[in-house]
Amino acid sequence: MAVVRLALTDFRNHASLFVEVQAGFVLLTGENGAGKTNILEALSLLTPGRGLRGAALSEMARSDGPGGFAVAARLRDDSEIGTGTQAAAPERRQVRVNGANAAANALGERLSVLWLTPAMDRLFSESPGGRRRFLDRLVLALAPAHAHHAARYEAAARARNKLLADPEGADPAWLTALERGMAEHGAAIALARADTVAALDAHLAAAPAGPFARARIALSGWQPAAGDAQAAFTAELRSGRGRDAAAGRALAGPHRSDLAVTHAGKGQPAERCSTGEQKALLLGLVLAHADLVAERSGRAPLMLLDEVAAHLDPSRRAALFERLAAADQVWMTGTEAALFAGVGEATRLHLGG
Ligand SMILES: Nc1ncnc2c1ncn2[C@@H]1O[C@H](COP(=O)(O)OP(=O)(O)O)[C@@H](O)[C@H]1O
Ligand SMILES: [Mg+2]
């Protein structure tokens, strides 16, 4: 689903920005610090979660502004979605859908947003948390209920941690109820991830060899036992109470899963590939995922590619633009318009100067 209008108010360095754009390519150019990534970040808030920088909401309000910010978009189907904060509650995310207040999760039903940023260069070498968040965004685009399960799972897990830490001894009935909640939502999270990973890996395996390294993916780390995932996870939590109390957190659960990515051509784990190869793997993954989402849901994701063109040689850049030509809407940034010379028709926006 393409955005046709975007309005930012007091979002980072943009006091007030209003743009009308077409489907297809939207190219943002401008010198360093002009606010290109900030625009992509604003778009990334049109989906549940903390956006492409994973930043606190209070950091996003313009520093010499009145406090609070607003991001509003009109989509091609004429729906209006928006999010922001108010000065009085700088960490409280407000969401509006067609003029009415809504839960953040409602955004996931309207729009899928996927992004690739230079900061994600470290995705394969970092701790599993970043890869889990990446995976969950892939899942969310296919299964909007994923955000709901994640929120409920985390709430139940937090409450259980607190209860287990209580020196008075936890109320067993309450503990059982929380574990039931964790198991219900945790199993749903695990199954949705398994489904996405299997479908995406099949897509990757079947895709024609292109100019970008082919990735193969699999889940690693914690996974529910085969069979009745919910029952197995319930049992695992119950028997793990003592161990989890000592650790201060649950040692089993979907918050302990990981995504394993392999360079198919080399049969090598992504973390051992060169930076350039890792970038190409990630790009190939995101492209395959966009195809998968479009195929399954008929609702192509919005793609935000931050500084991607600058790191590709001219032939790979041309191949990238060609592959993206069929996408619904792709926002790309670059310091120079020349990087996008091969793009053809596009909405071109130059910031500053
Ligand atoms: N909350 C904020 N208020 C005002 N300016 C901000 C805020 N957060 C970041 N900035 C400014 O935004 C600029 C960076 O914008 P960015 O979108 O990353 O630039 P680029 O065009 O290079 O991608 C910096 O100059 C930074 O100081
Ligand atoms: Mg930038």
Per-residue pLDDT 10s for the chain (353 aa) are 899 999 999 999 999 999 999 999 999 999 999 999 999 999 999 998 899 999 999 999 999 999 999 999 999 999 999 999 999 999 999 999 999 999 988 898 888 899 999 989 889 999 999 999 999 999 988 988 998 999 999 999 999 999 999 877 668 899 999 999 999 999 999 999 999 999 999 999 998 777 788 999 999 999 999 899 999 999 999 999 999 999 999 999 999 999 999 999 999 999 999 888 898 899 999 999 988 998 888 888 899 999 998 888 888 899 899 989 888 999 999 999 999 998 999 999 999 86
Ligand 1 within 6 A of 274 CB?
A: no
Cα angle 149-151-156, degrees, rounded to a multiple of 5: 95
Q: What span, in angstroms and rounded, lies between the C-alpha atoms of 215 and 265?
A: 8
Nearest residue (by CA) to ligand 1, atom 17, is 35
User: Which ligand has the nearest atom to the CA of 8?
Assistant: 1
Q: What is the pLDDT of residue 43?
A: 98
Q: Could you tell me where the DSSP H helices lie in 7-145?
A: 36-44, 57-60, 105-110, 128-142
Q: Which two tokens stand for residue 81?
A: 């979605």
Q: What is the pLDDT of residue 353?
A: 64
Ligand 1 within 6 A of 14 CB?
A: no
Q: What span, in angstroms and rounded, lies between the C-alpha atoms of 180 and 169?
A: 19
Q: What is the pLDDT of residue 174?
A: 93
Ligand 1 within 6 A of 12 CB?
A: yes
Nearest residue (by CA) to ligand 1, atom 8, is 12
Q: What is the pLDDT of residue 99?
A: 95
- CATH number for 118-295 (one of 1.10.274.30, 1.10.1040.10, 3.40.50.410, 1.20.1050.90): it is 1.20.1050.90
Ligand 1 within 6 A of 35 CB?
A: yes
Q: Which atom of ligand 1 is nearest to the CA of 32?
A: 22
Ligand 1 within 6 A of 37 CB?
A: yes
Residue ranges of domains in the chain = 1-112+299-353, 118-295
Q: Which CATH superfamily is domain 1-112+299-353 in?
A: P-loop containing nucleotide triphosphate hydrolases (3.40.50.300)
CA of 59 to the centre of ligand 1 (A): 10
- The best mutation among 38, 43, 85 to test binding of ligand 1, ranked by most ligand atoms within 8 Å of the C-beta, falls on 38
Q: What span, in angstroms and rounded, lies between the C-alpha atoms of 48 and 162?
A: 26
- Cβ partners under 8 Å of residue 164, min gap 6: 170, 175, 241, 244, 245, 248
- The best mutation among 9, 11, 12, 64 to test binding of ligand 1, ranked by most ligand atoms within 8 Å of the C-beta, falls on 12
- Cβ partners under 8 Å of residue 353, min gap 6: 30, 31, 34
Ligand 1 within 6 A of 83 CB?
A: no
Q: State the amino acid at position 165 in one-letter form.
A: A
- Cβ partners under 8 Å of residue 51, min gap 6: 41, 44, 45, 60
Q: What span, in angstroms and rounded, lies between the C-alpha atoms of 59 and 82?
A: 18
